[in-house]
Amino acid sequence: MLYSEVEFPVRYYETDQMGIVHHSNYIRYFETCRSKMMAENGYPVERCEEEGTLFPIVSIECRYLYPARMGDVLTVSAKVEKKPLAKFTFEQEVRNQRGEVCARGTVVVGFLDKKTGRPCRCPEGLASLFDE
Amino acid sequence: MLYSEVEFPVRYYETDQMGIVHHSNYIRYFETCRSKMMAENGYPVERCEEEGTLFPIVSIECRYLYPARMGDVLTVSAKVEKKPLAKFTFEQEVRNQRGEVCARGTVVVGFLDKKTGRPCRCPEGLASLFDE
Amino acid sequence: MLYSEVEFPVRYYETDQMGIVHHSNYIRYFETCRSKMMAENGYPVERCEEEGTLFPIVSIECRYLYPARMGDVLTVSAKVEKKPLAKFTFEQEVRNQRGEVCARGTVVVGFLDKKTGRPCRCPEGLASLFDE
Amino acid sequence: MLYSEVEFPVRYYETDQMGIVHHSNYIRYFETCRSKMMAENGYPVERCEEEGTLFPIVSIECRYLYPARMGDVLTVSAKVEKKPLAKFTFEQEVRNQRGEVCARGTVVVGFLDKKTGRPCRCPEGLASLFDE
């Protein structure tokens, strides 16, 4: 299993005229935490891309439970339980500074060979993190 | 049933370093079409908000089928089949100029009373559009 | 001289909690109109990039004169008066449906050779549009 | 004089298909640091807004000096040298982890009375920070 967290304050431009964080930003928060997870485990996204593997999003599902607001400090988490073969499945969550869950979601990410443009398997080193 | 479409070209800032439209933007495209549907039916979002009803997002689900790219002209659609009571369920789609479906999703939107901050029922006039 | 305009409604996600279009979006609106100008004149950005020329931003200057809001339909314009050599200078404007100028700015764009990563001159065909 | 800094990694969605951080995001980075400065000095933006003062942007000027990329950790700074009366003038900068200046700009922010919608003077407590 891999698990990562990242903490950051809400940015003003992320709010909308309802006075809360616009729902599309949670999708971006999820990504920010996945990037951190990749880097923490020695596979920064940008290096994987350079070495030939792209990570296209296959699907996203998100439930919005509690609005985040300007002034909040959010903790975003990402968890991968199963060893990825053709796909990565991330369980993701956004909590505020009081521990309230703002959003919870699942993101499925595929692997694409940059040269051929075709789906490929998870890079071996990345998959092997799950063997430990 | 309500159905609306909106057409627009991809904007450069919507692309990411994979060279495709970043996946979070489809969530925004979906919204852009919902806003158009509301306005076309006499209920522009901004007027509903002024009159006291907010439309918080309950959940989102999106499958990514084909990447959109700079130069593409996208058609985004929104369809509501059931009369909304406590929630609106929108079926949404993004197609490119060749008719390829780039993304398909479902967005559930609730109703919130601006004054009380509590969930409320669909404004009557909006619900009555489904009686015709 | 080159001149282009593009018209579009404000998108909900572009608003912020002040209830107006967030100031960073005007910078994006400017770009959207520059892209249209390039395409209208036979040089779509994405094709120029493919053929080896990138268009990095050198500088931006924008004065905010009147807030744009949800429900507004904006007209964005871009004007280039001088034949570009090492740089393109765009005069840009955003007006609302009542003709009020929301923002006015100047954007300077350079030319970069994609292979060498070094500044280059304006692609000849693009420059020659100003000879007519 | 007031001075603040904030450090954060580039987020993937901030990149564009040139493979660099899209230029509009520096405008957002600037804001993120201004918000931090306000909070650090006891005047979080959201509280000022609640208490009746809005901070509309008057003008922005930004020179782009060096591209930021995915993997970079940016330090954004904001400096106010003069006591604000009708306007705040922020000198802003974005540097990468090697100290290279990516962008440098000036942002002028006004004060607006939320109730009347008219320009007003800087809230007294905020102005008095410059008397120390």
**Nearest CA of chain A to the CA of C13: how many Å?**
6
User: How many angstroms separate the CA atoms of D33 and C120, rounded?
Assistant: 34
Are the beta carbons of C15 and A13 separated by less than 8 Å?
A: no
Considering Cα of C22, then C90, then B26, then A92, what sign does the dihedral take? negative
Are the beta carbons of B44 and C71 separated by less than 8 Å?
A: yes
Strand partners, B74: B8
User: How many angstroms separate the CA atoms of D102 and D8, rounded?
Assistant: 14
Question: Is the pLDDT reported for residue C72 higher than 90?
Answer: yes
CA-based nearest residue in chain D for residue C109: D64
Are the beta carbons of A15 and C12 separated by less than 8 Å?
A: no
Are the beta carbons of D46 and A70 separated by less than 8 Å?
A: yes
What average pLDDT does the structure give for chain A? 96
Are the beta carbons of C56 and D62 separated by less than 8 Å?
A: no
pLDDT tens digit sequence for C78-116: 999 999 989 999 999 999 999 999 999 999 999 999 999
Q: At what angle do helices B24-40 and A24-40 cross, to 10 degrees?
A: 180
- C24: nearest CB among D24, D46, D67: D24
- Which residues in chain B have their CB less than 8 angstroms from residue C39's CB? 71
What average pLDDT does the structure give for chain D? 96
Q: What band does A18 get if pLDDT is binned at 50, 70 and 90?
A: very high
Average pLDDT for residues B74-80, to the nearest whole number?
Answer: 98
User: How many angstroms separate the CA atoms of A13 and D122, rounded?
Assistant: 22
- Which residues in chain D have their CB less than 8 angstroms from residue C18's CB? 49, 54, 56
- Quote the pLDDT of residue C132: 67
pLDDT tens digit sequence for D38-92: 999 999 999 999 999 999 999 999 999 999 999 999 999 999 999 998 999 999 9
**Dihedrals φ, ψ of B71, to 5°?**
105, -25
* Mutation target vs A (from C17, C18, C20; most A CBs, 10 A cutoff): C17
User: How many angstroms separate the CA atoms of B113 and B54, rounded?
Assistant: 6
pLDDT tens digit sequence for A46-84: 999 999 999 999 999 999 999 999 999 999 999 999 999
User: How many angstroms separate the CA atoms of B73 and B9, rounded?
Assistant: 4
CA-based nearest residue in chain C for residue B31: C12
CA-based nearest residue in chain C for residue A11: C16
> Comparing C-alpha atoms, which of A87, D132, B31 is closest to residue C13?
B31
User: How many angstroms separate the CA atoms of A23 and C12, rounded?
Assistant: 11
Are the beta carbons of D44 and A71 separated by less than 8 Å?
A: yes
CA angle B13, B15, B21 (to 5 degrees): 130
- Quote the pLDDT of residue C78: 98
Is ipTM beyond 0.85? yes
Q: Which residue has the tokens 């060979």?
A: A113
Are the beta carbons of B59 and A56 separated by less than 8 Å?
A: no
- Which residues in chain D have their CB less than 8 angstroms from residue B22's CB? 12-13
Q: Which two tokens stand for residue D18?
A: 């040139």
pLDDT tens digit sequence for B17-58: 999 999 999 999 999 999 999 999 999 999 999 999 999 999
**Dihedrals φ, ψ of D55, to 5°?**
-125, 75
**Known catalytic membership, residue D16:** yes
Residue by residue, DSSP assigns chain C as -EEEEEEEEPPGGGB-TTSSB-THHHHHHHHHHHHHHHHHTT--HHHHHHTTEE--EEEEEEEE-S---TT-EEEEEEEE-SPPSSEEEEEEEEE-TT--EEEEEEEEEE-EETTT-SB-PPPHHHHHTTT-
- Which residues in chain B have their CB less than 8 angstroms from residue A64's CB? 56-60
Q: At C98, which amino acid appears?
A: R
Question: Is the pLDDT reported for residue C131 higher than 90?
Answer: no
Chain B residues whose C-beta is within 8 A of a chain C C-beta are 8-9, 11-13, 28, 31-32, 35-36, 39, 44-47, 69-71
Contacts of B53 (CB under 8 A, 6+ apart): B111, B112, B113, B114, B120, B123
